[in-house]
Chains A and B, each alone.
Chain A
């Protein structure tokens, strides 16, 4: 009997594919939220597999804070061209320009919170009823409570205390008009699973995941990339460091780690030895203890 056996990673892959197909069947207009980070890159690969030999039957959408790493945008555009899928870019700058969102004050204005406004507006504009996210339960304690099919009311709000129980492999995507779902096919994956999958599948990733020389600023114990979006505070200075990024998000809140990793195997060893979670380098999560929960309740990813 042992012959009929799937490794854990293969089981996770099969589970994610099943969920993507369920979403395509149960919803009218799904969209895959794509940040250019490793989790959303893995999501794209899984979506390819789920519908192969047909094309991915939904568009990708990037919520663009305007504070991007150039390398991510280049990577995104190449990937979209190669796959022949539609890419929607919803711009936070546009939300600010049209008065929907107001830029934060201070020396370190983060557009992280503003993304929610842009995201919800875009979902309404295109009438999306399900949005795939690459969120994982091991990432953060509020995410640990997420469902695969996560219901959002007509305001895009998450009600973590009143979630639908999710049993077996039966997913309930029923909703009233105007409500929506967030879908998390990678719920059961860990950071290591994602990296191992990228390695075994040979999936290209943006080069800033590998070591490079970069101008950085140390703030609150985290190295942030020097960019036009950061104003130096008193006593802060720009240093040159050999770094890489463990996660990729908005430039103003994504921390770099000192690293010499030049290939995926190096990254895997780093992850195996890491004593901090990957979100430990994210300034957006450090704002308060329930920062993620609060943002999610309002409609964040």
Chain B
């Protein structure tokens, strides 16, 4: 890998882009091997970590160094040899910094994958070349699609075990193409690899001259993600009002928040929700100076020309492009708690910087995540199940469909007794 020979360059480092991706897979599909190889070949594993993992592997009676132990750091995970929770791993190449949300394949799998996918730009699904597209492949891809991940990479792994045959790869690709027509992901890529032998992971494989596409790492480094944010629909949920009340900033009144969509500039006419008052942006402030424009996902402070009543939970938008406003919301929900969702039940709800209560008015249907069929006769939503529901909130929300904007289209439900996060919702 080029990293090893290169000198470290701070200039490159500061220009690096950030790609968040999620990996999903079952126990033996080689996911750990693939991630281990990426980390290893990009010099992201340190000697003391490797030593510790080697020792731990021996103690557990493994013949090989088990790279999963790098982040399966919890005692319970080590004892049982399983991953309980999403593990976050970090590595960088001169082009990009990567955050991997590595989600376990078995226990709590939907819950973990949904969590990992919620912040990802890209999803990786591993397919064992010997077994082809199986139920789990479809499940993973469906969740990636539901969470509106824009890029999906299907790694057909263990090509070494099928003699690197092109037909195997082509057949799997055709199979998956068939299934993926039901999904909403535009960008799907296929790469034949052997994570164990290193074919097409970092370096181009000499064993598969029939494959002319890019390697796995090259793909990660070059997928175009600059347009993944919404730069059209201006949304600024207010987190906090900043009033320094100091001599220097005596009359300063600013609205702190993160831009969830669009591009804001001083002079822009804006509208505050829910009040409906309009004003103009006076300035966009940061400690490092005023900005000529601000866009998603920047955290800034906005000041307006007029004094209008705005507080946490309100949203600053443009008068000619407003979000939906309402208390009756339809959404797809993934249930995250062992205690089933109660039809007619009341839950706490968080959306952008808003907090309220809601009542589950109706469970419309449940999705069989293996076949994507709708289930309409059993409407109880339990742990790891996904369905469409209708909720009514105690106050109006300002929202967009999740498809249009992840930030203003997502909610979580909270159990009011235990305070646990029990549901993850995507507004339709």
- In the bound complex, do residue B47 and residue A50 qualify as a contact, i.e. CB atoms below 8 Å apart? no
A137 neighbours in B (Cβ, 8 Å):
88, 90
A140 touches which of B10, B73, B254, B287 (Cβ 8 Å): B73
A292 neighbours in B (Cβ, 8 Å):
73
Contact with B along A39-66 (1 / 0, CB 8 A): 0000000001111111100000000000
- In the bound complex, do residue A7 and residue B299 qualify as a contact, i.e. CB atoms below 8 Å apart? no
Interface size on B, residues (CB 8 A): 82
B351 neighbours in A (Cβ, 8 Å):
170
Main secondary structure of the interface of B (DSSP, over half): mixed
A22 touches B (CB below 8 Å): yes
- In the bound complex, do residue B419 and residue A280 qualify as a contact, i.e. CB atoms below 8 Å apart? no
- In the bound complex, do residue A161 and residue B74 qualify as a contact, i.e. CB atoms below 8 Å apart? yes
B297 neighbours in A (Cβ, 8 Å):
6, 11, 14-15, 18
A233 touches B (CB below 8 Å): no
B249 touches which of A14, A53, A275, A276 (Cβ 8 Å): A53
A50 neighbours in B (Cβ, 8 Å):
256, 299
- In the bound complex, do residue B420 and residue A49 qualify as a contact, i.e. CB atoms below 8 Å apart? no
B288 → A minimal CB distance (Å): 8
A161 neighbours in B (Cβ, 8 Å):
74, 76, 84-85
A196 touches which of B13, B112, B424 (Cβ 8 Å): B13
- In the bound complex, do residue A4 and residue B421 qualify as a contact, i.e. CB atoms below 8 Å apart? no
- In the bound complex, do residue A280 and residue B46 qualify as a contact, i.e. CB atoms below 8 Å apart? yes
> In the complex where A4-B229, A4-B231 touch, is A166 in contact with B256 (Cβ < 8 A)?
no
Closest chain A residue, CB of each to CB of B254: A53
- In the bound complex, do residue A21 and residue B16 qualify as a contact, i.e. CB atoms below 8 Å apart? no
Query: Complex: how many Å from CA A272 to CA B348?
Result: 46
- In the bound complex, do residue A167 and residue B410 qualify as a contact, i.e. CB atoms below 8 Å apart? yes
Closest chain B residue, CB of each to CB of A140: B73
B8 touches A (CB below 8 Å): yes
B18 neighbours in A (Cβ, 8 Å):
6-8, 11-12
- Top 10 A-B pairs, shortest CB-CB distance: A141-B73, A272-B8, A8-B18, A174-B419, A52-B287, A54-B244, A280-B48, A17-B299, A167-B118, A8-B97
Q: Which residues of A come within 8 Å of B, CB atoms?
A: 1-2, 4-9, 11-12, 14-15, 17-18, 21-22, 24-25, 48-55, 137-138, 140-145, 160-161, 163-172, 174-176, 187-188, 190, 192-193, 196, 199-200, 265, 268-269, 272-277, 280, 289-290, 292-294
Between-chain CB contacts (< 8 Å), 13 pairs: A6-B297, A9-B16, A50-B299, A52-B301, A53-B285, A167-B118, A169-B258, A174-B348, A196-B13, A196-B14, A276-B46, A289-B52, A289-B56
